[in-house]
Amino acid sequence: MNQSTAQKTPESGAEQKSHVLTLPLENSHVDRSPHTYERWLVAKLVRMAGGPSVRFRLWNGDIIEPEGQQAEFTLHLTDPKALYALVTNPNLAFGDLYSAGRLEVEGDLPDLMEALYRAVHQARQKWPKWLEALWRNHNPRSTGISEAKENIHHHYDLGNEFYRLWLDNAEMQYTCAYYETPDLTLEQAQLAKLEHVCRKLRLKPGMTVVEAGCGWGGLARYMARNYGVKVHSYNISREQLAYAREEAHKQGLDNLVEYVEDDYRNISGQYDAFVSIGMLEHVGKENYQAMSELIKRCLKPDGIALLHSIGRNRPMLMNAWIEKRIFPGAYPPSIGEFMQICEHSDFSVLDVENLRLHYAQTLSHWMERFTENEDKVSTMYDEHFIRAWRMYLAGSMAAFRAGSLQLFQVVFTHGDNNTLPRSRQDLYNFPAAPEEA
Amino acid sequence: MNQSTAQKTPESGAEQKSHVLTLPLENSHVDRSPHTYERWLVAKLVRMAGGPSVRFRLWNGDIIEPEGQQAEFTLHLTDPKALYALVTNPNLAFGDLYSAGRLEVEGDLPDLMEALYRAVHQARQKWPKWLEALWRNHNPRSTGISEAKENIHHHYDLGNEFYRLWLDNAEMQYTCAYYETPDLTLEQAQLAKLEHVCRKLRLKPGMTVVEAGCGWGGLARYMARNYGVKVHSYNISREQLAYAREEAHKQGLDNLVEYVEDDYRNISGQYDAFVSIGMLEHVGKENYQAMSELIKRCLKPDGIALLHSIGRNRPMLMNAWIEKRIFPGAYPPSIGEFMQICEHSDFSVLDVENLRLHYAQTLSHWMERFTENEDKVSTMYDEHFIRAWRMYLAGSMAAFRAGSLQLFQVVFTHGDNNTLPRSRQDLYNFPAAPEEA
């Protein structure tokens, strides 16, 4: 029996959404003894995954310990079909089974996920080709204009009330924060990120900025408030835009900030700065050339562009579960892949910074707040959704900790622009974070 | 008649070198009238080069003005064969003819070269394929172990006395300096570069460093003196090593610095830092994978690597004249190409900085000193060599000004290293340059 995820009516009265995290959820709890080959499959699975420190507890209570070690974590499989799903497509099934409650984890979830990432990363270098193909290949969804709308709607229109529960309450930033010092609050670190980005763009009053993908509009408002620049921000998420416009209006920024409901591909005009924070992951490699031409077109001769994106150390597909259930169409590029954007239009890269561990810390803060607010989330979404979200946050945190994901900020200009910042000293003249959030 | 470049015996008594800058130097001065098709060829050449602001004066005094503009520069061709060489292979012939005195420039040489670079850069996007092939294709020399020795000997063993005439007298740095502020002397800016590199490597006393390609050994001595680290520096230029060892001995650094006469491919051991300043240009793309594996092998788990190299905004062969006459085998990579080194071994890029205009300023300082010391150089080398060197310095300065060349510093670590610097604040805590050199 397939059961689609039931969504409770949220307190905020946001619309019903039926597309969220649908997956087969079978109530197939059994207590028959596992077959010999099922036990063999478990041992094989653990070995192929690089021998992480996990034991399995099967549906009848049988325990399978890993070879030659005292396991740190226990994975409990509630039914034989869960095992088969895990063996044939672990990347997708792990998240699905966890969300459905058919795979239970004993031990810290982010720590377990980090251990899995590290073990698999080592192991996969020795995988035979067929296993690589079986476990890794999947076709990410298209990121064409109409599909992009759906992809973005799927995730970003879950309801502003939902995101408000666990994002910072300074500027609702749903991207990596910048922890200049380890003790910053989430709010301080998000404001520090906005400040860091503005400094990298060398903004001055009166300049014009175009932003591709603006989330809840926090960067645009920050730029207008603190740097006196005019910002055009593009987004295709209606829920986010509604919030962004309301906030800008409240803050009296209507004359400086314009939020445009349109695809980034339709940006027109010329600007002193082009900025995009956390959108490139959704652009798709097949659109990098068009994106490059877009930036070429709308950046003034002396303008500076900054792209901030999740990335990889080498080309690799997004984790299948994340791509299918959380971020449809997502693809984090390696710097080599990223360079297609720069090389195609003869852009000159001025600065690349990797904030990987800052994203791990950001996710840790988000997860803390999400966990504190699970009660409130449960008035909006069902248990399945909550478990999926927990897995998404924990898995992402683990991926950044294990070095499976990176966070790149890349600054570039036209190749023949000679009005360049002399050094990066000006990024560090005083702390980017406010003293108190 | 082929005439190889005659080398005078240098005052310093360095060995005779017969391999420097050999090229056909024809004494074919004529004063016949140019044919109609020769005048057509000149006009065509200027048009295909994007219409730079140059007029030609031909061997008989005839002037050919560019279309629709008052020319800033005059190029004087002394003979018809010079024109044919320029039309069929301008990249190679321009430098050769200038060196041989068969092409004379009226106007500032770096400014002319910059105008040429900018015009050609625009124009070549519209070149037909056959012209691109005719004017751009050449086969760079091999960079295998035995050829690398020759390539390096060709340039870097020209005599320490020669380089001393125009490099900084602080640490004989033959790479891009770092002008934190525009008014730094060459000496201050070179020391600031060394300091900047040390900070990027986060050196601490007692650490070990391996350096691939050490020039006259200045970075190794700076690190030992100022950071108390142990350095192994590899080089295959004998002249440079002799100087480097003598200097280290004079400064009492024998216990901290070891200069090894060997190819970088033979580096052994494990180190806290891997550094290479201005060698990657000589490595050749075909060796990036091996270089990647070398760094993987000899960098400790928490170690940091820094490569500093001339580069490009997009893949392109080195200018033919520079590759053939000045730096045999040289190839400056784009960041995309550079990433082969990082992606092959799952390295994580932490920081990329582009110091393009700093190299233009460095070259301007070098050229100033070279020009001041041409009298002294003429006691070591003939007029042909001096003109070639002037063209090399002016052309390089122009290439950095025009954005045809870049200077990248790339910092990376093993992909699973989590002991990362939190921010780059520590690079900017106080000025890198000493108050006076």
| The token pair that represents A1 in the structure block | 């029996």
Same structural domain for residues A75 and A216? no
Q: What is the pLDDT of residue B324?
A: 85
Mean pLDDT of chain B: 90
User: Is B213 domain-assigned?
Assistant: yes
B375 contacts chain A (CB < 8 A):
no
- Residue ending a domain, among A136, A167, A186, is A136
pLDDT confidence bin for B435, thresholds 50/70/90? confident
B206 touches chain A (CB under 8 A): no
A353 contact B CB<8A: yes
CA distance B154 to chain A (A): 31
Cβ pair A385, A20 in contact under 8 A: yes
Q: What is the mean pLDDT of residues B184-204?
A: 98
Which one, of A423, A202, A412, lies nearest residue B193 by Cα? A423
- pLDDT score at B9: 38
Say whether residue A342 is in contact with chain B using an 8 A CB cutoff: yes
Residues A56 and A132 in one domain: yes
Q: pLDDT class for B303, splitting at 50, 70, 90?
A: very high
State the count of interchain CB pairs (< 8 A) between A and B: 123
Task: Quickly state the pLDDT bin for B139 (edges 50, 70, 90).
Answer: confident
Instruction: Check whether residue A311 and residue A209 sit in a common domain.
Output: yes
User: Which residue in chain A has the smallest CA separation from B399?
Assistant: A416
Q: Taking 70 as the threshold, does the pLDDT of residue B285 lie above it?
A: yes
For B140-168, the pLDDT digits (tens) are 777 777 777 776 667 767 789 999 999 99
Structural domain includes residue A26: no
Residue contact A181–B422, C-beta within 8 A: yes
Q: CB distance from A302 to chain B under 8 Å?
A: no
The pLDDT of B267-294, averaged and rounded, is 96
**B330 and B401 part of one domain:** yes
Per-residue model confidence (pLDDT) at position B247: 96
Of A112, A136, A160, the domain-final residue: A136
Band of residue B28 on the pLDDT scale cut at 50, 70, 90: low
CB-CB neighbors (< 8 A) of A340 in chain B: 336
Under 8 Å between Cβ of B225 and B251 = yes
Q: Computed from CA positions of residues A14, A18, A24, A27, in that sequence, does the dihedral angle turn out positive or negative?
A: positive
Residue A289 in contact with partner chain B when CB distance is under 8 A: no
| Cβ-defined contact of B343 to A315 (cutoff 8 Å) | yes
Nearest to B186 by CA among B199, B170, B197: B170
Q: Model confidence over B267-277: pLDDT tens digits?
A: 999 999 999 99
ipTM of the complex: 0.92
Binning pLDDT at 50, 70 and 90, where does residue B80 land?
Answer: very high
Question: Distance from CA of residue B415 to its chain's centroid?
Answer: 31
Residue A10 belongs to some domain of the structure: no
Q: Distance (Å) from the C-alpha of residue A205 to the closest C-alpha of chain B?
A: 24
Residue pair A180/A432 in contact (Cβ under 8 Å)? The answer is yes
A313 contacts B415? CB cut-off 8 A: yes
Do the Cβ atoms of B313 and A422 come within 8 Å? Answer: no
Neighbour tally for A132: CB within 10 Å: 12
Q: CB distance from A89 to chain B under 8 Å? A: no
Check if A101 contacts B (Cβ < 8 Å).
no
For B402, which residue in chain A has the nearest alpha carbon?
Answer: A416
Say yes or no: A131 and A174 in one domain. Answer: no
Of A258, A239, A191, residue with least CA distance to A219: A191
Chain B contact for A121 (CB, 8 A cutoff): yes
- Same domain? B371 vs B230: yes
Distance from CA of A351 to the nearest CA of B (A): 5
* Bridge partner list, A212: A234
Q: What SS3 class is residue B331?
A: coil
pLDDT digits (tens, 9 = 90+) for B86-130: 999 999 999 999 999 999 999 999 999 999 999 999 998 899 988
Please name the residues in contact with A57: beta carbons below 8 A apart, sequence gap of 6 or more. Answer: A63, A64, A74, A75, A76, A77
- B47 and B72 both lie in a single domain: yes
Q: Does B63 touch chain A (CB under 8 A)?
A: no
Q: Is residue B43 part of a domain?
A: yes
Smallest CA–CA separation between A35 and chain B, in Å? 38
Instruction: Report which of A397, A352, A423 is spatially closest to residue B350, judged by C-alpha positions.
Output: A352
pLDDT of residue B400: 98
The lowest-confidence range among A92-96, B13-17, B185-189, B330-334 is: B13-17
Q: What is the pLDDT of residue A11?
A: 38
Query: Per the domain annotation, does B268 fall within a domain?
Result: yes
- Same domain for A53 and A163, yes or no, is no
DSSP annotation string for A386-420: HHHHHHHHHHHHHHHHTTSSEEEEEEEEETT----
pLDDT score recorded for residue A179: 98
The model's pLDDT over B357-377, given as tens digits with 9 standing for 90+, comes to 999 999 999 999 999 999 999
Same domain, A104 and A235: no
Same domain assignment for residues B187 and B89? no
Confidence of residue B421 (pLDDT cuts 50, 70, 90): very high
The answer to whether B428 faces chain A, any CB pair under 8 Å, is yes
Q: B397 is in which domain, residue-wise?
A: 145-428
For the cut 50, the answer to whether the pLDDT of residue B344 exceeds it is yes
Band of the pLDDT at B15, cuts 50, 70, 90?
very low
**Which CATH number characterizes residue B412's domain?**
3.40.50.150
Domains in chain A, number: 2
Q: What percent of chain B has pLDDT over 90?
A: 78
State residue A249's pLDDT score: 97
Residue type at position B341: I
Domain boundary pick from A136, A154, A174: A136
Show which of residues 387-426 on chain B sit within 8 Å of chain A, judged by CB atoms. 401-403, 406, 408, 415-418, 420, 422-425
**Residue A97: CATH number of its domain:** 3.30.1050
Of the candidates B360, B257, B350, the residue with the CA atom closest to the CA atom of residue B305: B350
Report the alpha-carbon angle B137-B116-B155, nearest 5: 60
Report yes or no on B27 lying in a domain.
Answer: no
pLDDT at B25: 46
Contacts of A192 in chain B (CB under 8 A): none
Q: Which residues of A155-194 are buried (b: 16+ CB within 10 A; e: fewer)?
A: bbbbbbbbbbbbbbebbbbbbbbbbbeeebbbbbbbbbbb
B188 and B117: one domain? Answer: no
> Is A23 a domain residue?
no
| B301 in contact with chain A, both atoms CB, cutoff 8 A | no
Sign of CA dihedral A418, A419, A425, A431: negative
- The model carries a pTM of 0.92
Domain-embedded: residue B12: no
Q: Quick: pLDDT tens for B406-416.
A: 999 999 999 99
**Residue A165 shares a structural domain with residue A114:** no
Q: Each residue's pLDDT tens digit in chain A (437 positions)?
A: 333 333 443 333 333 343 344 444 455 557 799 999 999 999 999 999 999 999 999 999 999 998 888 999 999 999 999 999 999 999 999 999 999 999 999 999 999 999 999 999 999 889 998 888 888 767 777 777 777 777 666 776 778 999 999 999 999 999 999 999 999 999 999 999 999 999 999 999 999 999 999 999 999 999 999 999 999 999 998 889 999 999 999 999 999 999 999 999 999 999 999 999 999 999 999 999 999 999 999 999 999 999 999 999 999 988 889 888 888 888 999 999 999 999 999 999 999 999 999 999 999 999 999 999 999 999 999 999 999 999 999 999 999 999 999 999 999 999 999 999 999 999 999 999 998 64
CB contact under 8 A, A350 and B353: yes
A6 φ/ψ sector (left φ>0, alpha ψ -120 to 50, else beta): beta
CB contact B43 to A (< 8 Å): no
Q: A119 near B414, Cβ under 8 Å?
A: no
Whether residue A424 and residue B181 make contact (CB cut-off 8 A), yes or no, is no
- Report pLDDT for B137: 67
